[in-house]
Structure 1
Amino acid sequence: MNTRISQTASAAPDAAPADWLVCARCRALVYRKRFDRAHGVCPDCGAHARLSAARRLATLLDPGSARALSAAQTVHDPLLFADLEPYVDRLAAARAATGHEDAVRVAVGTVAGYPVVVAVMDFAFMGGSLGVAAGEAVAMAAEAALARHVPLILVTSSGGARMQEGALALMQMAKTAAAMAALDEAGLLTVTVIADPTYGGVAASFATLADVVVCEPGARMGFAGPRVIEQTIGQRLPEGFQSAEFLLRHGLVDGVRPRAELRQTLAVLLASAGGRAPGRAGRGGAVAELPRAGAGMVVRDPAELAVRPAAEVVVAARHVGRPTTRDHLAYWMDTFVELRGDRAGADCPAIVGGLGTVAGRAVLVLGHQKGHTTADLVRANFAMASPAGYRKVIRLARLAEKIGVPLVTLIDTPGAHPGIEAEQQGQAGAIADCLRVFSGLRVPVVAVVTGEGGSGGALALGVADRVLISANALYSVISPEGCAAILWKTRDESPAAARALGLDARSLLELGVVDGVVPEPAGGAQADPAGASLALRDAVLAELDQLAAVVPAERVAARRRRLRAFGLRGPVEAAADERFGDGNGDSNGDPNEEESA
């Protein structure tokens, strides 16, 4: 029996393949054909071996769709560099071993029918280092995506900038960052797949500038490598430092996806970004007929709503059986990819967001997340978002704006987190930034108060073209308990405070704070979560249909007029004419002159 065993999962390309190999991490003996069918993933421990650029393209792109693109010629040895051997000899050896001109391969192709440009780094070529040729290939890939008006997918695996090319290698960081900025300005989706390892100049440029950053399990990413950090600061690093899972916990990446799931994840993102595939409707195209839940119209006349005891409303709004944001996502979404992290060091569990489709319609959903058990509530911090949560909101809202996808927010929180760390990290400023960003979004925005709408923590997600509220939800400047403690000097008067605050759906509709009330099933949303959620979905999609027909600039202007009108006795225009004149020279005074309130 002629059985050969390889001692590593990453044998040289020109070596005769052994029948068996040993996993580099768990040391298990793995049948090579099984290992290859799993695209280099150990069936025992799940370790993801490095792939060549060619294998990587084959795993991501539709069969037969890939067409290679060649970058412009670049200088090869600008410094005539030599260490233990001349740089030109190192280049020649890398080219002979890999069959590539340099560390990046670029191709156009399709993923699940959606056209893309893909740039893949190959660690086998001098550690995937970023030199002039590699930087030029990435920049060319971005330009190709721009010219074709298609998304760009990057797969990174690199030890950092190529030292042998000196400052010219350093400049590739700025070159590739500028190329990514051009895609931002054009509204084109960018996605990075982080493979192990991704360090230095690659991590500090194009790899982390993508709209969505997804890691393979166990992939490491950082600016400085562990050895450099330990030698510099003289401390031992924690277990798993800079791993994909570490990065996810610290809000630096959107998700960790096994290699077998990457292609499907990309397909969902591409569909959600308004791409078009053969036989599919894209952004602006026809959408699938939506089966309607049949539950109810949105109520827009307060007279159609019964007057209810405020204390009863408070109890109903806080019921733990009401559908959460994750529940609504499960009922609504055909496809969904959760996007996590604020990109600044944290991921707030009180805020859930991501891209997906509802009956073929692309949408980005953001919402507060509570829970149905004490453990769920604790895990989600009782839906009280931290500054990191609001920074995540802003990041994803800007993504919706960039790629032209409608935004839906689901509001259910007692308020923003009031802790010491939240204040130290700028809670007030984070909420204020949400209000500013949402006021100017050019995409349609629909907000729904699904349960408890508490104070500025709720309003941060509530600046929208249309604001709906579930029949048993509440929306208030402060909790009844907080109001009673401050004004009545005792929390025992919270029922009186609830009555005085006008926090119920009927009162809010009378005030014009909400545009409509979505009825709930008998017994409340907790009695029939599916029926309540589907009725809410129908109401949201109907609002989006109306808003889609409005020119973006007019949407923004109308949204700001709506905000400007709160509390006025008459139309905004009449108030402006009275104060500043009608624009025909009939001024009532100097608009810069101080006036009494």
Structure 2
Amino acid sequence: MTSTVDRADPVGGGADDWLACRKCQSLLYRKRFDRLGRVCPDCGWHGPLTARQWLDRLLDAGSARAVLPGPSVHDPLEFTDLVPYAVRLQRARSATGMADAVAVAQGTARGRRLVVAAMDFRFLGGSLGTAAGEAIATAAETALAERVPLLVVTASGGARMQEGVLSLMQLPKTINAMSALDEAGLLTVTLVADPTFGGVAASYATHSDVILAEPGARMGFAGARVIEQTIRQRLPDGFQTAEFLLDHGLVDGVCPRAELPHTLAALLAIGDRPATGWGRDRADPVWRDPDQVPQQSIDRLVRLSRHFDRPSTLDLLTAWTDGFVELHGDRLGEDCPAIVGGLARLDGLPVMVIGHQKGNSTAELVRRGFGMSSPAGYRKAIRLMRMAAKLGIPVITLVDTPGAYPGRTAEEHGQAHAIAQCLRTLGGLPVPVVSLITGEGGSGGALALAVADRVLICEHAIYSVISPEGCAAILWRDPGAAAAAAAALRVDARSLLRLGVVDGVVPEPGGGAHRDPTATTSLARDAVVCALRELLGRPGTELVAARRARFRRFGTTER
């Protein structure tokens, strides 16, 4: 449970005007280094901050008010190794001016209220003992009482050995305190500073809604030295760093210190609520009568639905929203790039947006698997859906995929199970859900994001149980019969509206979305806003009942 991490002073002692960067060894002017937030201007190495420095950086000047935790046991085991534990505690308190390894304050960040608990590695390696656990629990309880978000900054070598099993008990204690914030619908954020190991990583550090990490920060259950000593396995360079964690879906993002205020402000803004009458200034462009939708050649329609230059999910997000914070990973070891999502504000309304991302170039198409998600992508989507339900904000899904990834690895990792869980989660979300099919809507891979209160489709998009080529190969036994298959499958928006599968069609500029992406984006935005405004304010039980009834009717004679 305990990880030992070496932590020499990276910048040296004394009051010299110059110091050496721990990473690149560049000579740094101390005052400039401090002005840059203790970040090396040459290599970007992030030097450690004390708990007090974190509170000063994160909270608005003059807003911080200390939150004092309750008393905790002192030297419960009367532990002695080379030095009595009581002596170690007294030395740490004298050296740091802190009672223990965690400082807690409530205040504001960019005018929005929150509680911050910051760890200080100088205090016995930031180890988690009873006093530190009490401070984290008190921070969570204060956030709950004040009904404000909680931000935890972690830096720890693990559980405090000198307090024995009582240190171990701080893991469920802190998790339970933070779980109460989940039940209350309050946002929790972790900022991982270097290093974060052992019991802290296995409890409150990884329990938050959003986990950010500083560049190069290390986090894991067991540190590299413990792993090497225990199982004689040499770890690769970069193992357990923030960048490694991001690639493996274990954190939402790597956040440089200079960007942290902006990112934190965007996250805290999710707690804002728009004025009454949100979206009333938008005119609804949607066609709801099938006869309004122009008839067109089916093979041309299929080509247009796949055009490289159609606005992608990220294109739409950039144009539609403010303060978009992309959230990464399924928390199980992967981050699928074919599905993107995150928190944002649409005309001031906090929303969770999730969508397939193909890309507008061959390189991006390949990198994102042509928008064909692995199970990790759908599990990431489920995580974001559940977060939206917790925070009480609407979900917007943007569908554009040939289908779910059909490879061996997807089957090994439970593709069918992941899609089924997406369908189940969307079906039961107690918040408004609007889905827009922007290009291809291929089979279960598309449906996984389209179990919505309102399902819209762009004029030149398609939606089908299988690709026209796949249908032609199976039933016609001729891939060249794709156009005939597409016509027979009724994949076009006009037919889908007539069947009741979609609720409306979003017009596109003449010739297709790629001819005028700006106009397309504007029409799609208005359509989504108008769909959402009809759903806002409805009780969650009513939304779920109506959504389930909607899908219950398909295939029956009832409309």
Cα distance in 2 for partners of 1:320, 1:508 equals 23
- 2:134 is the counterpart of 1:136: yes
- TM (norm. structure 2) is 0.97
Find the residue that maps to 1:42 and give its secondary structure: coil
Q: Per-residue deviation at 1:231?
A: 2.1
Q: Per-residue deviation at 1:286?
A: 4.6
Q: Per-residue deviation at 1:288?
A: 7.8
Q: Per-residue deviation at 1:291?
A: 7.8
Q: Equivalent residues in 2 for 1:118-197 (5 A)?
A: 118-197=116-195
Cα distance in 1 for partners of 2:544, 2:86 equals 57
- 2:433 is the counterpart of 1:445: yes
Cα distance in 1 for partners of 2:54, 2:257 equals 10
Cα distance in 2 for partners of 1:395, 1:570 equals 34
- 2:388 is the counterpart of 1:390: no
Cα distance in 1 for partners of 2:182, 2:277 equals 27
Return the letter of the residue paired with 1:516. G
2:293 alignment partner in structure 1? 305
Q: Per-residue deviation at 1:9?
A: 4.2
* Aligned partners of 1:452 and 1:473 also within 8 Å: yes
- 2:246 is the counterpart of 1:248: yes
Find the residue that maps to 2:193 and give its secondary structure: strand
1:519 alignment partner in structure 2? 507
Q: Per-residue deviation at 1:287?
A: 7.7
Q: Per-residue deviation at 1:81?
A: 0.1
Residue deviations 1:309-364 (CA, integer Å, cap 9, x gap): 22121111011110000110111112110000000000000001010112211111
1:47 alignment partner in structure 2? 45
Return the letter of the residue paired with 1:125. F
Return the letter of the residue paired with 1:403. L
2:105 alignment partner in structure 1? 107
Cα distance in 2 for partners of 1:358, 1:527 equals 25
2:342 alignment partner in structure 1? 354
Q: Equivalent residues in 2 for 1:1-400 (5 A)?
A: 9-11=10-12, 16-272=14-270, 274=271, 282-283=272-273, 285-286=275-276, 297-400=285-388
> Residue 403 of structure 1 is aligned with which of 368, 378, 391?
391
2:3 alignment partner in structure 1? none
Cα distance in 2 for partners of 1:519, 1:47 equals 49
2:4 alignment partner in structure 1? none
Cα distance in 1 for partners of 2:276, 2:48 equals 41
Evaluate the alpha carbon distance shift between residue 190 and residue 287 of structure 1 in structure 2; reply closer, same or farther with a 3 A threshold: farther
Q: Per-residue deviation at 1:186?
A: 0.6
Cα distance in 2 for partners of 1:83, 1:563 equals 66
* Aligned partners of 2:298 and 2:487 also within 8 Å: yes
* Aligned partners of 1:75 and 1:132 also within 8 Å: yes
Evaluate the alpha carbon distance shift between residue 70 and residue 10 of structure 1 in structure 2; reply closer, same or farther with a 3 A threshold: farther
Q: Per-residue deviation at 1:306?
A: 2.1
Cα distance in 2 for partners of 1:305, 1:174 equals 57
Identity of aligned residues (%): 62
Evaluate the alpha carbon distance shift between residue 11 and residue 92 of structure 1 in structure 2; reply closer, same or farther with a 3 A threshold: farther
Q: Per-residue deviation at 1:553?
A: 1.2
Residues paired across the two proteins, number = 552
2:5 alignment partner in structure 1? none
Mind listing any 5+ residue stretches in structure 1 that lack a counterpart? 1-6, 275-281, 572-597
Q: Per-residue deviation at 1:235?
A: 2.1
Evaluate the alpha carbon distance shift between residue 286 and residue 123 of structure 1 in structure 2; reply closer, same or farther with a 3 A threshold: farther
What RMSD over aligned residues (CA atoms) do the two structures have, in Å? 1.4
Mind listing any 5+ residue stretches in structure 2 that lack a counterpart? 1-7
Cα distance in 2 for partners of 1:298, 1:374 equals 32
- 2:452 is the counterpart of 1:454: no
Find the residue that maps to 1:469 and give its secondary structure: strand
* Aligned partners of 1:371 and 1:380 also within 8 Å: yes
Return the letter of the residue paired with 2:533. D
* Aligned partners of 2:339 and 2:356 also within 8 Å: yes
Q: Per-residue deviation at 1:285?
A: 3.3
Return the letter of the residue paired with 1:248. L
* Aligned partners of 2:11 and 2:21 also within 8 Å: no
* Aligned partners of 1:287 and 1:361 also within 8 Å: no
Cα distance in 2 for partners of 1:505, 1:162 equals 62
* Aligned partners of 1:10 and 1:50 also within 8 Å: no
Q: Which moved more, 1:90-99 or 1:234-243?
A: 234-243
1:3 alignment partner in structure 2? none
Cα distance in 1 for partners of 2:280, 2:63 equals 33
2:517 alignment partner in structure 1? 529
Residue deviations 1:445-470 (CA, integer Å, cap 9, x gap): 00000000000000000000000000
Evaluate the alpha carbon distance shift between residue 286 and residue 39 of structure 1 in structure 2; reply closer, same or farther with a 3 A threshold: farther
Cα distance in 2 for partners of 1:129, 1:193 equals 17
Residue deviations 1:94-128 (CA, integer Å, cap 9, x gap): 00000000000000011111100000000000000
Q: Equivalent residues in 2 for 1:483-498 (5 A)?
A: 483-498=471-486
Return the letter of the residue paired with 2:60. D
Q: List 4+ stretches of structure 1 deviating above 4 A.
A: 7-12, 286-292
* Aligned partners of 1:446 and 1:544 also within 8 Å: yes
Return the letter of the residue paired with 2:447. L
Evaluate the alpha carbon distance shift between residue 238 and residue 287 of structure 1 in structure 2; reply closer, same or farther with a 3 A threshold: farther
* Aligned partners of 1:335 and 1:358 also within 8 Å: no
Q: Per-residue deviation at 1:537?
A: 0.6
Return the letter of the residue paired with 2:491. L
Relative contact order higher in (CA < 8 Å, ≥ 6 apart): 2
Cα distance in 2 for partners of 1:549, 1:136 equals 38
Find the residue that maps to 1:165 and give its secondary structure: helix
> Residue 550 of structure 1 is aligned with which of 538, 545, 548?
538
Cα distance in 2 for partners of 1:160, 1:257 equals 23
1:465 alignment partner in structure 2? 453
Evaluate the alpha carbon distance shift between residue 287 and residue 48 of structure 1 in structure 2; reply closer, same or farther with a 3 A threshold: farther
Return the letter of the residue paired with 2:63. S
Find the residue that maps to 1:362 and give its secondary structure: strand
* Aligned partners of 1:8 and 1:22 also within 8 Å: no
Cα distance in 2 for partners of 1:267, 1:408 equals 22
* Aligned partners of 1:287 and 1:360 also within 8 Å: no
Return the letter of the residue paired with 1:356. A
Return the letter of the residue paired with 1:103. A
Cα distance in 1 for partners of 2:344, 2:316 equals 13
